[in-house]
Structure 1
Amino acid sequence: MPLSHRAATTDDLHRVACFALNPQELFYWFPKASWPLTAGQLIATAATRTESTVVELDGRVVAHANFLRWAQGGDCAIGQVVVEPTTRGQGVGRYLIETMCTTAFTRYAARSVSVACFSGNTAGLLFYPPLGFVPQAIEARRDLHGAPTALIHLRRLRAD
């Protein structure tokens, strides 16, 4: 499967806006968004973030992520991690996260990379540890219906 990555464009964000299958799934990768997601919501958020990146499979955009926090020599926090539904479970997410980590460690000389995953997102919670991410903290949050939920913060240290 020939995967590649590049900086996201506005046109790409129009495609990414269609990746969420339902409000719950959207909440997991973009909790501040409202359903149905529009490209405008992604574009507005992209203006406050950096390294908005897409993964392509055979020239088709199939994944997206960005950094919501970044600091030279510090921590880079990956946000808005999403893979197109038809390509999930095929290594696209792994490629995306490795790409973001490489960017953090090389371009920003980051000491660590962090991600956050909601407790109800079992697939996400099982996805990150094999990539070297370790739980660091739990933050109390509210889900779509206002019920208590947990946001689990995970971190991967740079291998020196």
Structure 2
Amino acid sequence: MKLQSRPVTADDIKTICSFALDARELFYMFPKAQYPLTEVQLADAIAQRLDSTVVEVGNRIVGFANFYRAETGGACCIGNVIVAQDARGQGVATFLVNTMTALAFDHYDATEVRISCFNENTAGLLLYPKLGFLPFAVEERVSPDHRRTALIHMRRGRGGQV
């Protein structure tokens, strides 16, 4: 599978909105959004964020992420990470996070890249450490069904060093 990345376009928004299959998945991707994710909600988030990026296989969009903060010479924080259901487990998330990490270090000269993951998001919790991210803080949040949940903040320095 040949993966490539590019900046998001307005034409991509409807497809990206279909990636979160339920309220739980949307909460992992975009905690402030209401399920189902609408084009207006996503377009507003994209307008407030930086470097919104899609991953494609051929002409098909299979992944999406952006930065909710990007400080030149400081920290870049990856958010809104999601992969289409039929593309999961095929290296798309690895490619997407590595693409965003490289962008942070190369374009913003970041000292570190941060990513956060909810404790129930097993796929993310298993993936991010493989990509060099290590936990540094835990924040209590409330899930869509009003349960306590933990948002685990992770970071990675250049060369995988924290």
TM-score, length-scaled by structure 1: 0.98
The residue aligned with 1:85 is 85
How far is 1:99 from its partner? 0.4
The residue aligned with 2:124 is 124
1: CA distance, partners of 2:4 / 2:120:
30
Matched residue SS, 1:47: helix
Query: Identity of paired residues, percent?
Result: 50
How far is 1:55 from its partner? 0.3
Unaligned runs of 5+ in 2: none
2: CA distance, partners of 1:47 / 1:32:
15
How far is 1:106 from its partner? 0.4
- Could you list the per-position Cα deviations for residues 32-88 of structure 1 after superposition, in whole angstroms to 9, with x for gaps in the alignment? 110111111100011110000000001111000000011000000000000000000
The residue aligned with 2:108 is 108
**1:32-43 aligned within 5 A:** 32-43=32-43
Amino acid at match of 1:156: R
The residue aligned with 1:55 is 55
Unaligned runs of 5+ in 1: none
Matched residue SS, 2:64: strand
Amino acid at match of 1:32: K
The residue aligned with 1:149 is 149
Runs of 4+ in 1 over 6 A off after TM superposition: none
How far is 1:135 from its partner? 0.4
Matched residue SS, 2:43: helix
How many residues are paired up? 160
Q: Which deviates further from its counterpart, 140-149 or 64-73?
A: 140-149
2: CA distance, partners of 1:143 / 1:153:
16
Amino acid at match of 2:16: V
TM-score, length-scaled by structure 2: 0.97
1: CA distance, partners of 2:109 / 2:152:
24
Matched residue SS, 1:140: strand
Amino acid at match of 2:70: W
How far is 1:145 from its partner? 1.7
The residue aligned with 2:73 is 73
The residue aligned with 1:133 is 133
The residue aligned with 1:3 is 3
Matched residue SS, 1:128: helix
C-alpha root-mean-square deviation of aligned residues, in Å? 0.9
